[in-house]
Amino acid sequence: MSEVSGGVLERTKNEEAEFVQPLVLGDRLKQIRLSNNLTLADVSEMTGVARSTLSKIENHQLSPTFQVVQKLVEGLSIDIPQLFRAAPADAGGASRRTWTKHGEGTPHPTATYEHELLCTDLSQRKMVPFKTTVRAHSFSEFGDWVRHDGEEFLWVLTGPVAVYSEHYEPLVLDTGDCMYFDSRMGHALVSPGETDAEVLWVVAR
Amino acid sequence: MSEVSGGVLERTKNEEAEFVQPLVLGDRLKQIRLSNNLTLADVSEMTGVARSTLSKIENHQLSPTFQVVQKLVEGLSIDIPQLFRAAPADAGGASRRTWTKHGEGTPHPTATYEHELLCTDLSQRKMVPFKTTVRAHSFSEFGDWVRHDGEEFLWVLTGPVAVYSEHYEPLVLDTGDCMYFDSRMGHALVSPGETDAEVLWVVAR
DNA sequence: GTAAATTGTTTCGTATTGGAAACAATTATT
DNA sequence: AATAATTGTTTCCAATACGAAACAATTTAC
């Protein structure tokens, strides 16, 4: 093995081609079909896959070609994860939801930003969303790069916003623009305009 | 056609087997393989798929069986969406940052939503952001709950939006409100007002 | 520089898929 | 009830996927 550079893939070995879910696909297809009151003929017409083939798939009598899977996904206008994840059952009591009304987040001011933390009353989240008012009006107001693990997505609610980041030229985003970047790369926001800028910010760990 | 109950699937017709992305899969596989410094032999060992087959897939000389796709997904320990996401092109730069200007995302229509995928030219993201126009104007337009792994955050750009979710009462959010919830819990958005609603949506796996 | 090893590609034979059509099993229609 | 339509299943065969092995094209070893 040519040195797997500590990347994404070093985990598995797959001792012996044990299938992930040999059945799920057919079951899922049937489930989707029935829950929409479709016949095999309907699905056949929508997807261009023969009735017979569909039948065999649903009954686990064959492993469809990727082409066929594509036709199904396209023709039924469903997305791939939806087709593969077993979607039955009750989600096992994983019912978690919360919301924050406009302006009612938790204030969290820093030297250069005015954060409003959102949806904080749900713990153990994969993402941390907040709305931020950018007070800084020049890059020199920053001491050093902000840098941490994770990834960030931001959407400009009120622009313009200048994005400074390591290894890159500054970039100016305006209202409705958005950006995604690796948080380990040093970054900072500046409001080049007259007024303070506002961005919606989501950080994933 | 046995009355498609105005459900999820009435959109497409797929006149003639026009492929969705005949290339993407092979390209994506190669990309993943190379970015991890793996040889075809490595991947073959990890997945149990023959070198020759892998070569053909990468060169678009065949459409692999679903079984093979499963072996790839399992053996390389990547997830399905990741495998199907379009190759990252040039990105907004060399490595880990990209942006999307207002309205220039990738359209992805479904029966009830009009998604605009954002920042797609960065692969292997922890989050998938998109802007969505909610077309559905009644809950009955949905065939079944949307349900998948992960968590979601959404911010209402243009309200009102009614959020339906399993185990809960419907909740109406207005412009500037936001919400966070577990994606395994069935969910659906409806635009109760006259016009279509718009939300900014971020999904984390 | 030559040999050996490693890499990706290409044959080629076998096994499997996938569609047309025949079949069986229900459901509608008269 | 008999007939026709509609549904899902099964045959059959052409088309195609898949793997073993041969083949090139590099790279590494000596």
Cα dist from A41 to A34, A65, A67, A74, A79, whole Å: 12, 19, 19, 16, 21
Q: Cis (ω within 30 of 0) for the bond into B160?
A: yes
pLDDT of A77 reads 73
CA atoms of A17 and B36, how far apart (whole Å)? 21
Nearest residue to B5 via CA among A35, A98, A134: A35
Question: What is the rounded distance in angstroms from the CA atom of residue A19 to the CA atom of residue B75?
Answer: 10
Residue A50 one-letter amino acid? A
CB contact under 8 A, A82 and B146: yes
Shortest CA–C1' contact from A44: which nucleotide? C19
Contact A20 B80 (CB under 8 A): no
Mean pLDDT by 10 residues, chain B (205 residues): 34 28 70 82 89 89 87 76 47 61 84 86 82 83 75 92 88 92 87 91 90
Best B184, B189, B205 residue to mutate vs chain A (most A CBs within 10 Å): B184
Q: What is the pLDDT of residue B11?
A: 28
Q: Tell me what pLDDT residue B80 has.
A: 63
Q: Strand C: list protein residues with Cβ under 7 Å.
A: A 2, 48-53, 56-57, 61-65, 67-68; B 39-41, 51-52, 55-56, 58-59, 61, 65, 67
At what angle are helices B66-75 and B40-47 packed, to 10 degrees? 100
Q: How do beta strands A127-134 and A171-173 pair?
A: unpaired
How far is the C-alpha of B22 from the C-alpha of B57, rounded, in Å?
10
Compute the distance between CA of residue A203 and CA of residue A132 in angstroms, rounded to an integer.
Answer: 12
Q: How far is the CA of B32 from the C1' of D24 (A)?
A: 25
Q: What are the tokens at A44?
A: 């056949």
Residues A75, B14: C-beta atoms closer than 8 Å: yes
CB neighbour list of residue A146: distance below 8 Å, 6 or more residues apart? A186, A187, A188
pLDDT of residue A93: 35
Query: Strand C positions with any atom < 7 Å from protein CB?
Result: 6-11, 16-22
For A42 and D2, how far is CA from C1' in angstroms? 29
Query: For B89, left (φ over 0), alpha (ψ -120 to 50), or beta?
Result: left
pLDDT value, residue B56:
92
Strand D footprint nucleotides (protein C-beta < 7 Å): 6-11, 16-22
Cβ atoms of A185 and A165 within 8 Å: the answer is yes
CB atoms within 10 A of CB A42: 19
pLDDT for A170 equals: 87
Report the distance separating Cα A112 and Cα A125, nearest Å: 25
Strands, DSSP E only, in chain B? 97-100, 106-109, 113-117, 127-134, 151-158, 161-165, 171-173, 178-182, 187-190, 197-204
Residues of chain A with pLDDT under 50: 1-22, 86-95
* The pair of three-digit structure tokens given for residue A133, joined into one six-digit string: 């008012």
pLDDT value at position A123?
66
* Per-residue pLDDT, A175: 94
Query: Cα separations (Å) of A121 from B149, B179, B180?
Result: 21, 11, 10
Question: CB-based contacts of A89: which residues, under 8 Å, 6+ apart?
Answer: none
CA B139 to chain A, closest CA, distance in angstroms equals: 15
User: How many CB atoms are located within 10 Å of the residue A149 CB?
Assistant: 10
**Measured between alpha carbons, how far is A133 from A197 in angstroms, rounded to an integer?**
6
For residue B42, give the 3-state DSSP assignment.
helix
Question: In this complex, which of A19, A127, A168 lies closest to B127 when CB atoms are compared?
Answer: A127
Instruction: Give the count of Cβ contacts less than 8 A between chain A and B.
Output: 300
Res A21: pLDDT: 45
What is the C-alpha separation between B182 and A91, in angstroms, rounded? 10
